[in-house]
Amino acid sequence: TSYFHHADVPQRMLNTVIVAFGAGLVSIISGSMAGYALARIPLRGAGTIGVLILMSRGVPPIALAVPMFLVARKLGMTDKHTLILAYCTFLIPYVMWLMRGFFKSLPRELEESAMLDGCSRFGAFIKIIVPISLPGLISTLIFCVILAWEELLFALVLTNRNATTIPVAIAGIAGDTVNGANWGALTAVGTLTVIPVVIFALLVQKWLIQGLADGATKG
């Protein structure tokens, strides 16, 4: 109990929820629109752009962490929930790549008929494509939240106390070389970290399974 009070585990858990779901929502909104643009709008080199997006996932996070820290410190954005923006740098390419493939599998006649009825392309995307693609969007959102939930490096570099997340707390327990790792606290905090993700996955498993099945069928 004393360790939980000292490490402020409830606040770190709240920070993790805010940052993970915030980054997931921002990424799914912006990434899905970008993926739709790559899938539908005639653009020279769209295939190359898609490959570059996929390749960006291979950039080591440590190569981005230091420049990101310098920029965040200059703008006064360290140790804040703007950590969401840092997470978006690796989540948005992931969403763009997945949703681009999902949107390309949908028939173009859906948007064309809506646009003939007076909808703009953006209106057709919101009213027609998004409802049809909802299972795919939700399953991608689930993966984004899980990836953001367990992320350590950016949280370790860009936060200090106020916006620190649970993975940083776990790293602090495991890396205590002075007193030795507190295995009881490590187990307790690790369990608390896993439980919300498991509950979340169980609650949304219907949409996750449907999204994966739709992607496999349409792909």
- Give 145-183 as a DSSP string: HHHHHT--HHHHHH-SSTT--HHHHHHHHHT-TTT---H
DSSP state of 60: -
Q: What is the mean pLDDT of residues 57-66?
A: 83
Q: Which residue has the higher pLDDT, 198 or 69?
A: 69
Q: How confident is the model at residue 180 (pLDDT cuts 50, 70, 90)?
A: low
Q: How confident is the model at residue 121 (pLDDT cuts 50, 70, 90)?
A: confident
pLDDT value for 21 = 93
- In single-letter form, the type of residue at position 65 comes to A
Whether the Cβ atoms of residue 15 and residue 81 lie closer than 8 Å to each other: yes
Q: Which residue has the tokens 């390309």?
A: 104
Whether 7 shows a pLDDT value over 80: the answer reads no
Whether 2 shows a pLDDT value over 60: the answer reads no
Whether the Cβ atoms of residue 211 and residue 140 lie closer than 8 Å to each other: yes
Alpha helical stretches, state H, the chain: 2-7, 9-40, 46-56, 61-75, 83-104, 109-116, 121-124, 130-132, 134-149, 153-158, 166-174, 183-203, 205-218
Question: 21: which residues sit within 8 A by CB, 6+ positions away?
Answer: 145
Share of the chain above pLDDT 70, in %: 86
What's the CA gap between 125 and 121, in Å, rounded? 6
Q: Which residue has the tokens 């539908």?
A: 40
Structure tokens at 37: 């643009």
pLDDT value for 94 = 87
The model's pTM is 0.82
Q: How confident is the model at residue 217 (pLDDT cuts 50, 70, 90)?
A: very low
Q: 2 in helix, strand or coil?
A: helix
Whether 188 shows a pLDDT value over 80: the answer reads no
Q: What is the mean pLDDT of residues 56-80?
A: 87
Most confident of 29-33, 138-142, 166-170: 29-33
What's the CA gap between 169 and 205, in Å, rounded? 28
Structure tokens at 128: 């027609």
Find the angle CA(168)-CA(137)-CA(157) to the nearest 5 degrees: 20
Q: How confident is the model at residue 214 (pLDDT cuts 50, 70, 90)?
A: low
Find the largest Cα–Cα distance for the chain.
Answer: 70
